[in-house]
Structure 1
Amino acid sequence: MSIYINEKTGAMQLIVYGEPFAQERPRFSTFSGHVHAYDPKRSRAYKEKICAEAVHLMYKAKELGYQVPFDCPLQFALYIYRSIPKSFSKKKTQLAREHKIYAHTKPDADNYIKCVLDGIAHGKSKILFTDDSRIVSIRAIKLYDDTPRIEAWLKPI
């Protein structure tokens, strides 16, 4: 895991190594006659991993004088690097390493986006931004790489 802040542009990068994980469907249970929705264990664990790195990024941003959490329009970019499947041919593996082919299989990019944004926001904690509505631009791309990870960029406009 690593963090980076470009002091010229204000862009912040958060890298979380390991196989990317997409948001799963919520689970439901009944307690005392009331239905409760909750995150599956794996989704919750991945969000907590992202949250821990987002907290480090927040403290670094505050040290550099940024007013965090941001309460302004933000651009969000997410690069999802999934493991190269072992079933790929040598030629296809090389194209994947060069990022010339996309990971166009499930899970969907929007499920990755949701999981990462939930991890950064961490409920009502407001780690890097005050509300999801501050995100006005989103870009996401799914690729293959030898080092599976997610790279999330957040930039005030």
Structure 2
Amino acid sequence: MSKNALRYPESAIQGGKFGTARVVGFAEREIERKTGNAPVAEPDDFDAVTLHEPIAKRTVAFTVEGEPVAKGRPRASRTDTGVRMRTPKKTKSYESKIRAAATAAMFGSIPFGRPVALTVSIYLPIPESWSKLRQTKAAQDLIRATNKPDTDNVVKAVKDAMNEIVYEDDSQVVDLVATKKYGREPRVEVEVMELDGEAA
């Protein structure tokens, strides 16, 4: 089996400003070609032959700088026609930053249609009130980030914001890795990779 990969664009997108979020990301497309040595078959024998078509696999990665924000619960408000659920402004603002970063990183590509693996790396700000020694330990991951926001709520904001941009729907995420640490520069790093196999 031989594999040939084609990636584009060659250069990463860097330095774009979206509110307080700076995009440092790239989009790449990998073309994997599979070839086999199947014997030439007669028309009646096609049921026993597996034909391998080119498989396009893409990976996109980007960074949203700034303090990570958890997805807030919708709030109910009364209207003339009943009750309306509203997304908190802080959540809407942060998801807008994620969408802007994701859109730039996709570089005009259509959303992924296959199952995907998602990696989210969350870096929380180190409290300025801590001693220099304690801050250094936090930066080295010797002090774990067990405070708010919750990891799963930040991931939820990331997943929802990428709908119809990176993938068609976040239900396509079948493999998820999320970490939360302290960092000198608060940010969220995101990577989405298409996987082999059909969606069902």
TM value normalised by structure 2: 0.68
Find the structure with the greater CA-based Rg: 2
**Given residue 5 of structure 1, which amino acid in structure 2 is its aligned partner?**
A
SS at match of 2:107: helix
Are 1:3 and 2:25 counterparts? yes
What residue ranges of structure 2 are gaps of 5+ in the alignment?
A: 1-22, 31-56, 196-200
Return structure 1 stretches of 4+ with deviation > 6 angstroms: none
Superposition CA RMSD, Å: 1.7
Which of 136, 142, 155 aligns to 2:174? It is 136
Are 1:38 and 2:80 counterparts? no
SS at match of 2:98: helix
In 2: Cα distance, 1:128 partner to 1:87 partner: 38
- The answer to which structure, 1 or 2, has the higher relative contact order (CA under 8 A, 6+ apart) is 1
Superposition pairs for residues 5-154 of structure 1, below 5 Å? 5=27, 10-59=58-107, 62=109, 68-121=110-163, 126-154=164-192
| Bigger mean CA deviation after superposition, 8-17 or 130-139 | 8-17
In 2: Cα distance, 1:100 partner to 1:13 partner: 27
Higher helix share: 1
Matched length: 147
In 1: Cα distance, 2:151 partner to 2:86 partner: 21
Alpha-carbon offset, residue 151 of structure 1:
0.3
Partner in structure 2 of residue 65 of structure 1: none
SS at match of 1:94: helix
* Contact residue 27 and residue 106 of structure 2 kept, 8 A: no
TM value normalised by structure 1: 0.85
In 1: Cα distance, 2:156 partner to 2:88 partner: 14
**Given residue 40 of structure 1, which amino acid in structure 2 is its aligned partner?**
P
What residue ranges of structure 1 are gaps of 5+ in the alignment?
A: 63-67
Alpha-carbon offset, residue 152 of structure 1:
0.8
